[in-house]
A and B are shown apart, each in its own frame.
Chain A
């Protein structure tokens, strides 16, 4: 009934709480491509995954995206977090503690992870245990770490099997009697990421006034320290809030946040 269609507008809609940004006036320059329509974290994840360099690791690693890279694309962090936890509940996505920062989490699609790990285990003695772990533990448990009690009692793994899992790289030691879920051979990934992050931040710092336009930074030539695509690092530093994003008439400006 069209008469009954007088919708009670929410007070927050009237004032469009989104309108007021850092600074004043309208939003210009920083056109957010993720804003059109409802927030779709899965699509953004797939986009960001294409930036991951597979050849660098000889295709041995699954494509990893950092959780805070999503924050650089979408503005509403709480919504991103909620959708991520939904995807994890459904078993499509896995989250890992990468180890170099308490807040840095890596995201990998579950199917991807499984194929790559099992491919890496071809012809090795630990293959059976790893397969058992994948089939038993991953679908049922969303945790990022496991402790001894859980492994022995709930999942009925023996001590020697746990040692095999650690050897194969699926589990890494967290402290006495507990382990993080991890990606085998991801040590190089972490090393390159930290190296590249430092190099890109250095590029921003060395610029005049410690700031550089995002579009210009994307075009710059990278030195040998930066092994990943520069866009990957740019999403990383924006999401981790190591640089400030300022909208200008010529596009987004990245300014170093110095502490």
Chain B
């Protein structure tokens, strides 16, 4: 690490290298933190979490009880022991709350004044964050499993919401939908008929292409499995941050990495990624690390794989029941995961143990406090740097 710092100071290395190196080190050190807690509001499983992209300060969560909660993640108290408080809740008592389980929540990508939630009560609601009242309600004919708003779209503000009967090309329920973070017209959908289709919204005639796990090599599959992305339901979908690759998760216990431009299977072998979920699973990818990591909820733990080599880095254990969703906080390299045990756990990079040069506990406590402050400052420094490094 000192090597990277001196190289950066002397101008031998690009500023980005130091940032990437430190981000990677922090991700490799993720662990459950005793000091960080998230308020426990949900009384039933948590289905979805979303962290807003503008400041990275507020987090939304949607649960199986139809409750939507907004949390403040920023630690303004000077203490290291911190509970992320809920700043707003759309509880069961609110007359605008969803009647059934909330499947997906997402912040409006351009500011935190608005967020969208979709649920099994066949509605999708657009909420005003200040008043926590829905500004708009969309009715669907079937259960809405997933919705997504494009994070980069300037020309359109389409919300892609999918339910059972809306699509002609999928023969089963569509469990997941994602916009590409690179091209604002490209959309990918994953469904229970084992296929993943990539669409261009400007083209009305149909999907662009379907992802084929055997890359067109028809001889490898049995005849029913030709042109499918997985040998089972596809329930997880995620683009990498640069939009060049697409990750899919299927109930055949496999995860596949695809080249999003031509739909080819990159054949990275992650081994058996256990997946027993009946509905969508939310996987997430790290950002600005080298190598990139993918976080997959796997039973009651979160598995961390290296994106391009398929190696299992570690399993994050801590939940008491199945994990349904996880979200990576890119500025602080933290992971938040929520599951059926109604807890949201925060996985924070472990601080390096202090070099105890002085004797006595007083010195130790002081060093630890300094470390905490340093950690907070260092995280902010990395974030601020990011604004200037490009």
Contact = CB atoms under 8 A, between A and B. Distances in A.
Interface stretch (B94-102, B157-165, B215-223): B215-223
A78 interface: yes
B54 to A, nearest CB: 28
Contacts of B277: none
Contacts of A174: 222-223
A7 B223 CA distance: 51
A178 B290 contact: no
Given A77-B270, A77-B310, A145-B218, 6 more contacts: A11-B21, A14-B4, A15-B28, A76-B311, A175-B222, A259-B276
A144 B222 CA distance: 10
B267 interface: yes
A243 B381 CA distance: 45
Nearest to B18: A11
Contacts of B17: 11
A171 to B, nearest CB: 12
Interface residues of B, number: 34
Contacts of A12: 24, 290-291
Contacts of B313: 17, 20
Interface string A1-41: 00000000001101101101110000000000000000000
Nearest to B220: A144
Interface in A62-79: 71, 75-79
7 contacts: A15-B25, A17-B306, A18-B311, A76-B310, A77-B271, A145-B220, A241-B271
Interface string A86-105: 00000000000100001000
A11 B24 contact: yes
B82 to A, nearest CB: 25
A17 B218 contact: no
B28 A20 contact: yes
A44 to B, nearest CB: 16
B5 interface: no
A81 interface: yes
A258 to B, nearest CB: 12
Contacts of B222: 97, 102, 174-175
Contacts, number: 72
B277 to A, nearest CB: 14
A22 B312 contact: yes
The prevalent SS among residues of B at the interface is: loop
A20 B231 contact: no
Nearest to B25: A15
Given A75-B311, A78-B269, A17 B231 contact: no
A213 to B, nearest CB: 22
B114 interface: no
A201 to B, nearest CB: 15
Given A18-B311, A20-B313, A102-B231, A11 B20 contact: yes
A143 interface: yes
- Which among B219, B221, B309, B313 has the greatest number of chain A C-beta atoms within 10 A? B219
Contacts of B268: 78
Contacts of A147: 218
A14 B271 contact: no
B219 A144 contact: yes
Given A11-B17, A81-B269, A241-B272, A17 B220 contact: no
A146 interface: yes
Contacts of B41: none
Contacts of B311: 17-18, 75-76
Interface string A239-259: 001000000000000000001
B309 A76 contact: yes
Contact of A17 (B269, B271, B291): B291
Nearest 8 A-B pairs (CB), nearest first?
A: A143-B219, A77-B269, A145-B219, A241-B272, A11-B290, A144-B219, A78-B310, A175-B223
Given A77-B269, A145-B219, A175-B223, A20 B25 contact: no
Nearest to A144: B219
B225 interface: yes
Contacts of B219: 143-146
Interface in B297-352: 306, 309-315
Interface string B234-275: 000000000000000000100000000000000111111000
A78 B309 contact: yes
Interface in A145-186: 145-147, 174-175, 178
B271 A22 contact: no
A23 to B, nearest CB: 9
B157 to A, nearest CB: 37
Nearest to B268: A78
Contacts of B315: 22
A256 to B, nearest CB: 14
Contacts of A146: 219
Contact of A178 (B220, B223, B272, B310): B223
Contacts of B220: 97, 143-145
B24 A15 contact: yes
Contacts of B25: 15
Nearest to A17: B306
Contacts of A259: 276
Contacts of B309: 76, 78-79
A90 B302 CA distance: 40
Interface string B347-366: 00000000000000000000
Interface string B196-239: 00000000000000000000011111110100000100000000
